[in-house]
């Protein structure tokens, strides 16, 4: 019974004759394509080891497709639905971008401000000590801060294991042993402590390898650590914890009631179990993985569900057109404006429509086709979120296991989102 799905009925309403006509056109498009998309996703699910996933498509400020497939918990046969809560991985960074722009419009932050004028300690690229790192460098992944640290080598870890699990198949213990070797920290530390450990010269996890060998502000290089540094600046400039700041200025205004950074703030009845493959190169079966917590949580540790993410996605789409709820029109414009030219990238940049390393605004990626997006992946999740401002549509989805077959899910959704929006 792995192939059960939950299909949510779509409802359309109209305020006047013109709206009614437009809404009916969308309804007709959905009726033509949604069944085909569902059948395609069922086929992918049957062939994949991913236990469960959910996807949604939005168009003209409406959710026009929203479904869950498979299971959020294999052991108890709990269905994966659009209400199932899971990690969303690096999509989390887009929320940091929104937080940065909220501070800018509040007059508490300037994107061109040097981080060393904000931090209680100094961050200096040892290869270019005379060149300062700015907030704009962080939000465009040009700060020269690298994810090159080797915590195993120094006998520590950035991950806290939150539960113990016993596996019926003892062979799994040996498979999991490699994962668990990285879970050494064993306790929570603050976001500020985490970033300082990496980037302050006196920090416990400091290494010159944490910095690139090109000057700050000259080359694009995706960085989780840089995103965490940006979130720590939100804390320092706002006087609030990062989780509290995003709760007050993003989640609550958008009524994202099932979105939070920490497990204790999530309805446990909605939480999905998370999984990893038995073999990363040749996966054959899903193995349930203990829940965990990154000390640098802001770069990828947000938990949410498809229902909430649709609210966020529609606000971002509306905001692009000047009518979002949580930022000013100018802030949305800056959030999504491509900030880099070709000199920041390799000459052979991937120009596929959903490539999230082609250009960037404020932590929001911009593809060659002008789609605003972010993809994500970690143990227990693959994810995507995007919108096309030209067609006024977009999509979101995530799974509870990272497997290459998720790419087929995203591609299928993109294909049918494109058809529906036309």
pLDDT digit string, tens, across residues 339-361: 999 999 988 899 999 999 999 99
Q: By the 8 A CB rule, do 149 and 126 touch? A: no
pLDDT in tens, 225-241: 999 999 999 999 999 99
Rounded-to-integer distance, Cα 361 and Cα 94, Å: 10
pLDDT in tens, 294-333: 888 999 999 999 999 999 999 999 999 999 999 999 999 9
Rounded-to-integer distance, Cα 394 and Cα 373, Å: 9
Examine the pLDDT at 9 and tell me if it is beyond 90: no
* Residues 237/240/246/252 CA torsion (nearest 10 deg): -130
Residue 279: what pLDDT?
A: 92
- 184: pLDDT confidence band, cut at 50, 70 and 90? low
Rounded-to-integer distance, Cα 283 and Cα 160, Å: 25
Rounded-to-integer distance, Cα 210 and Cα 198, Å: 7
The answer to which of 41-55, 144-158, 255-269 has the lowest mean pLDDT is 144-158
| Domains by residue range for the chain, with CATH | 87-381 (3.40.710.10)
How much is the average pLDDT of 268-276? Answer: 97
- 21: pLDDT confidence band, cut at 50, 70 and 90? low
Q: By the 8 A CB rule, do 233 and 195 touch? A: no
Residue 169: what pLDDT?
A: 81
Residue 30: what pLDDT?
A: 65
Higher-pLDDT residue of 157, 39: 39
Examine the pLDDT at 218 and tell me if it is beyond 90: yes
Residue 12: what pLDDT?
A: 36
Specify the pTM: 0.91
How much is the average pLDDT of 83-112? Answer: 98
What is the average pLDDT score of the chain? 90
Rounded-to-integer distance, Cα 375 and Cα 356, Å: 7
How much is the average pLDDT of 58-78? Answer: 96
Residue 4: what pLDDT?
A: 34
- Facing residues of 73 across strands? 78
| Long-range own/partner contacts, residues 31-35 (CB < 8 A, 24 or more apart) | 33/416, 33/419, 33/420, 34/10, 34/64, 34/65, 34/416
pLDDT in tens, 192-215: 999 999 999 999 889 899 999 999
Q: Is the dihedral of CA 3, 8, 9, 15 positive or negative?
A: negative
Residue 318: what pLDDT?
A: 98
Question: Rg of the chain over CA atoms, in angstroms?
Answer: 21
Percentages of the chain per state (helix, strand, coil), in multiples of 5: 35, 20, 45
List the structure tokens of 8: 């949510």
């Amino acid at each position: 019974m792995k192939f059960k799905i939950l299909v949510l009925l779509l409802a359309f309403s109209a305020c006047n004759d013109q709206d009614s006509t437009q809404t009916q056109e969308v309804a007709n498009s959905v009726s033509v394509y949604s069944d085909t998309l569902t059948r395609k996703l069922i086929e992918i699910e049957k062939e994949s080891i991913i236990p469960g996933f959910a996807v949604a498509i939005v168009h003209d400020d409406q959710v026009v497709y929203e479904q869950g497939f498979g299971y959020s918990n294999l052991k108890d046969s709990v269905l994966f639905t659009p209400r199932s809560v899971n990690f969303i991985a690096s999509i989390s960074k887009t929320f940091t971008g929104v937080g940065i722009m909220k501070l800018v419009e509040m007059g508490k932050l300037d994107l061109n401000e040097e981080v060393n004028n904000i931090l209680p300690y100094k961050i200096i690229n040892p290869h270019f000590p005379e060149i300062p790192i700015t907030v704009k460098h962080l939000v465009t992944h040009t700060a020269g801060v690298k994810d090159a640290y080797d915590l195993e080598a120094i006998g520590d870890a950035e991950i806290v294991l939150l539960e113990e699990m016993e596996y019926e198949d003892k062979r799994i213990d040996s498979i999991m042993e490699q994962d668990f070797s990285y879970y050494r920290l064993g306790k929570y530390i603050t976001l500020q402590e985490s970033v300082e450990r990496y980037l302050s010269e006196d920090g416990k996890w400091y290494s010159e390898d944490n910095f690139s060998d090109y000057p700050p502000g000259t080359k694009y290089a995706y960085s989780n650590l840089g995103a965490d540094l940006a979130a720590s600046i939100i804390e320092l400039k706002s006087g609030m914890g990062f989780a509290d700041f995003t709760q007050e200025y993003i989640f609550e205004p958008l009524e994202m009631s099932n979105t939070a950074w920490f497990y204790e703030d999530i309805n446990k009845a909605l939480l999905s179990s998370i999984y990893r493959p038995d073999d990363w190169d040749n996966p054959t079966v899903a193995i349930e993985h203990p829940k965990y917590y990154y000390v640098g949580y802001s770069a990828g540790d947000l938990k949410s569900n498809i229902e909430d993410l649709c609210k966020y996605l529609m606000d971002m789409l509306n905001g692009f057109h000047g009518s979002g709820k949580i930022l000013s029109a100018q802030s949305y414009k800056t959030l999504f404006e491509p900030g880099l030219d070709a000199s920041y990238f390799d000459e052979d940049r991937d120009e596929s429509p959903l490539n999230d390393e082609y250009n960037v605004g404020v932590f929001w990626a911009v593809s060659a086709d002008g789609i605003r997006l972010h993809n994500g992946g970690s143990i227990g999740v693959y994810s995507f979120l995007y919108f096309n401002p030209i067609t006024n549509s977009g999509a979101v989805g995530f799974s509870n296991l990272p497997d290459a077959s998720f790419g087929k899910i995203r591609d299928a959704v993109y294909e049918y989102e494109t058809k529906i929006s036309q």
